Structure 1
């Protein structure tokens, strides 16, 4: 994938959110700097600029080395915090005041970070923490605290979050 295609892979997904477009464009440029060793060193000043602009001005923490799939949508991007080890699949949606990361055990050891599947919708004021897996096509309701793995096609709400229903998958006719 060439540079222009790489940095604009989230453009269409954020077509109704100018802030989402700007943040994802800035993230993808910083993330591109991880693709080759020469870009890593040449991109250092840009990554400093990225950290100051996105974290301090926009109040969104998306580490430049996070693994995020194509088509991430950011709605009302304020107070969004991601851990650098988080893995997010393709075509996911994140809303404001969402935290996705690891947790600290009583002995001081940090757990792993979540792996989020494709087409996951995350509501506002949601916490997804720990070494868990969120399946594909999951909807997580506003204010949920997800600390356990969730199956695919589930609608998840609550504190602690639990699936309240499972959506049927569309069957393709051959």
Structure 2
């Protein structure tokens, strides 16, 4: 993937969300891979600008080191806090007042799958895995892993629906 494609990889997901498109563009520039020393030096002023504007002024704390797949959508920017060691898959939706990180100092961080829709004021904490195609309702506190194709709500979060397709085994003849 070229630099331009890397920077605009979230634009389609934010086609009607101007704030999300602006944030994702700045995040992707700050998130550009910097494997060599020259790239790190060139990106340093931009990363400082990103930290000042988005973290200190706008209150959206998503460090440039976070690994997030293409299609990130961020609605209502304030009060989003994500630990730098969190891994998020493709097509994730984040809303305001969401915290994703570790439970203890130097503890493990969540791994979030593809197509996960995270409601407002959600906390996802600790060494948990959120499967693909999960919806996490507003105000939920997730401290245990969630299987794919689930809808979870509550504090602590509990599965209210699992849309996993159950296939019946073939008869043995």
Q: Secondary structure at the match of 1:100?
A: strand
Q: Which 10-residue stretch deviates more, 75-84 or 114-123?
A: 75-84
Residue 122 (structure 2) aligns with: 126
Matching residue within 141, 158, 169 for 2:154: 158
Aligned twin of 2:112: 116
Deviation at 1:35, TM superposition (A): 4.6
Determine the structure 2 residue equivalent to 1:137. Answer: 133
Equivalent positions of 1:6-155 (< 5 A) are: 6-104=6-104, 109-155=105-151
TM-score for the superposition, normalised by structure 2: 0.92
Name the SS of the counterpart of 2:23 in structure 1.
Answer: helix
Runs of at least 5 residues in structure 1 that lack an aligned partner in the other structure: none
The CA distance in 2 between the partners of 1:2 and 1:37, in whole Å, is 19
Determine if contact 1:126/1:142 at 8 Å carries over to the other structure: yes
Secondary structure in structure 2 of the residue aligned to 1:34 = coil
| Alignment gaps of 5+ in structure 2 | 168-173
User: What's 2:171 paired with?
Assistant: none
Computing the radius of gyration from Cα coordinates, the structure with the larger value is 2
Normalising by structure 1, we get a TM-score of: 0.91
Number of aligned residues: 167
User: How far apart are the structure 2 equivalents of 1:167 and 1:151?
Assistant: 10
Q: Distance in 2 between matches of 1:133 and 1:79?
A: 23
Please identify, of 146-155 and 49-58, the stretch whose mean Cα deviation from structure 2 is larger. 49-58
| 1:82-124 superposed Cα distances (whole Å, 9 cap, x missing partner) | 10000000001001100000111xxxx4310000000000000
Find the aligned partners of 1:119 and 1:55 in 2 and give their Cα distance.
25
Distance 1:92 1:169, change over 3 A: farther
Q: CA RMSD in A?
A: 1.6
